[in-house]
Structure 1
Amino acid sequence: MTRRTQLLVLGAAVIAVLAVVLVMVAPRAGRSSLMVVITPSLDNPFFGQEALAAEQRAVALGYRTLKFSHGDDAFKQSQLIDTAIARGASAIILDNAGADASVAAVQRAKAAGVPVFLIDREISSRGAAAVQIVSNNYQGAALGGQAFAEALQEKGAYAELVGKESDTNAAIRSRGFHDVLDQYPDLKMVSRQSANWDQAQAFAVMQSILQAHPDLKGVIAGNDTMALGAVAALESAGRRDVIVVGFDGSNDARDAIAAGKMRATVLQPAHRQAQYAVELADRYLKTGKTGEREKLLMDCFLVDRTNAPRLDNFALAKPEGL
């Protein structure tokens, strides 16, 4: 082999090594700096705040953003994911439209080279999303259930308002509630109905429950929106004596707790979840990996009158002096 040939072979080898390194270090080098955020709603306080937190963190890290809402419609979600792919998104931050119904769209994004980072709700498949960051809904529901039982002094008739039946979180929260409440034989559930996470539906359902069960002592709800619908129905019936506990940690629930209209809520750290999803997406786009396992759980916190003043936009501020 001549020296010229040796130099050509060596040069080709160096180029090949450099190409591999570039692929490993910058797997999305050919893509834009666009990060797409898709949530069920931009008007609902919970989903709106997680979308805002994701957007703010992405912008701080140097990304352009687009925000969309799918309205819990899996078909619309699929179209929005196709839009994100077509616009050359680097990554998608998604609060999905159903554990089963979302799998195909998430897999399609992955196949197109657009990693999906799930927040709040998980899907029923592993390996499709880069990460699934969810609240520890069972742990949080157990906290809420215990606070509810104690507020009722472990006795009396109560009702449960359940979220959308297709949402995994609704079932997990209900199970967490009952694994605590069912231990108290003098606590009697007289009604369990879905209000689909919706305040207006919760108002109507609560009116019907009150008519059927005038001896009602408490209401435990799978989210704050339904809890506040129940509070409005109770107020219209002049029933300020009924204990209400919610789940999410919204500012509206905070205000209701301060006013004595709700006893407690369970804060799920939506703001931090959204931020962390963006941070992991940024890490993945720069290094080719997140450094974390796929499913990540974040613990929830009980919010009552003792710490409600520290609650703002689904985050608890540290006590003064710490």
Structure 2
Amino acid sequence: MSKTAIRMLLATAAVSAMLSSQAFAAGLISIIVNDPANPYWLTEGNVAKATAEKLGYTANVGAHKGDTNAESTMIDTAITNKSVAIILDPANADGSIGAIKKAVAANIPVFLVNAEVNQEGLAKGQLVSNNAQGAALGATQWQKAMGDKGNYVELFGNPADNNAATRSNGYETVLTQYPDLKKVGKEVADWDRTKGHDKTQSLLQANPDIQGLISGNDEMALGAIAALKEAGKLANVKVGGFDGSPDAVASVKAGEMAYTVLQPVAVFSEKAVEQADAFIKTGKTGAETEKQLFDCLLITKDNVDKYTAPFTLSQ
């Protein structure tokens, strides 16, 4: 091998080592989501990880599945692994505060996505869907499908998540303007498809003549649709969802779900990592406020073909 070739090899190796060192120096971003069995949370973790790696960090994704003990353990691991930032979808609006405080005490910036906690000043950012706006959007569309009168039931999400109450209250604000729309039942189904199915069965037993069902998320709504199909009642019941998941979009296309409200999870998951990167480098996130709301979008049969990727609607 010639001296020139050897010098080129050594130079290439030096550049490679330098790039590797830079990537390592950028550090680890730990991403903790709820349950990736739900496509919404899967997308949240995948987008955050891809964004972190694009910016030169290493990244890993863990799931607490709504368990605050598991969440606390994952925060401990992130601290032990000397994470330079944590992206967290909190398990509980109150119960996650202690775990976040541990990260803050270890001087690790925390950025919350999708769900809030009931204390400001801990996280560097809380990036969430505008749930009140999305709920009003969905309830208005659901009322158009239902008309001005009829009996309906509601599936409520996880009570430990502030989003559940915000959406339910948003539905109530719109629908109570129509006195002949009667809510005859409400069940907690914890964002879960199987529970949505089972709770809908119970609601149908108590209220066999419903004309509508409005749900706090798509998974519960899809479970409800399965139960309504089994009961032979889906054709006469208007079902509304919330999330904009691929399965819900397919259900809208099929004419089974009247609409779904898309949460821009792909947008704010990317934004949270970008703000973490900015804070690591400059000490500032670049955002004006800790709490940041991202408006939701309505998906109906009229615009469903503009759904180009999971939780992405082309305008």
- Structure 2 length-normalised TM: 0.90
Whole-Å Cα distance in 1 between the matches of residues 53 and 160 of structure 2? 33
- Percent identical among aligned pairs is 46
Indicate the residue corresponding to 1:221 in structure 2: 215
> Out of 254, 257, 281, which is 1:286 matched to?
281
Mapped partners of 2:170, 2:130: distance in 1: 10
SS at 1:215 equivalent: coil
Paired residue for 2:314? 317
- Could you tell me which residue of structure 1 aligns to residue 68 of structure 2? 74
2: CA distance, partners of 1:207 / 1:261: 17
Which residue does the alignment assign to 1:24? none
Is this contact kept in 2: 1:31–1:90, CA < 8 A? no
- Which consecutive residues of structure 1, in runs of 5 or more, have no partner in the other structure? 1-29
What is the correspondence of 1:103-182 to structure 2 with a 5 Å cutoff? 103-182=97-176
Q: Which amino acid aligns with 1:254?
A: V
Describe the SS at the equivalent of 2:312. coil
Query: How do 1:193-204 residues align onto structure 2 when only pairs under 5 Å count?
Result: 193-204=187-198
- Kept in 2: contact 1:131–1:295 (CA 8 A): yes
| Amino acid in the other structure paired with 2:311 | F
Q: CA RMSD in A?
A: 1.3
* CA deviation vs aligned residue, 1:116-166 (integer Å, no higher than 9, x gap): 000000000011101000111001000111111111112100000000111
The answer to whether structure 1 residue 60 and structure 2 residue 54 are counterparts is: yes
Measured after TM superposition, the shift of residue 291 of structure 1 is 2.1
Is the radius of gyration larger for structure 1 or structure 2?
1
Choose which of 230, 250, 256 in structure 1 pairs with 2:251.
256
Question: Out of 294, 297, 300, which is 1:301 matched to?
Answer: 297
TM-score by length of 1: 0.88
Q: 1:310, CA displacement in angstroms?
A: 1.7
- Say which is worse superposed, 178-187 or 103-112, in terms of deviation: 103-112
1:267 aligns with 2:226: no
Structure 1 distance, partners of 2:220, 2:134, is 17
Among 191, 200, 209, the residue aligned to 2:185 = 191
**CA deviation map 1:15-48 (0-9, x unaligned):** xxxxxxxxxxxxxxx9751111100112210000
Does residue 1:246 correspond to 2:225, yes or no?
Answer: no
The answer to whether the 8 A contact 2:71-2:91 is kept is yes
Count of equivalent residues: 290
Tell me, yes or no, if the aligned pair for 2:26 and 2:56 is still in contact at 8 Å: no
Distance 2:102 2:248 in 1: 38
Displacement of 1:183 in angstroms is 0.6
Q: Deviations over 1:182-208 (max 9, x none)?
A: 110110000011011111111011111
Q: How does 1:29-108 map to 2 (within 5 A)?
A: 33-108=27-102
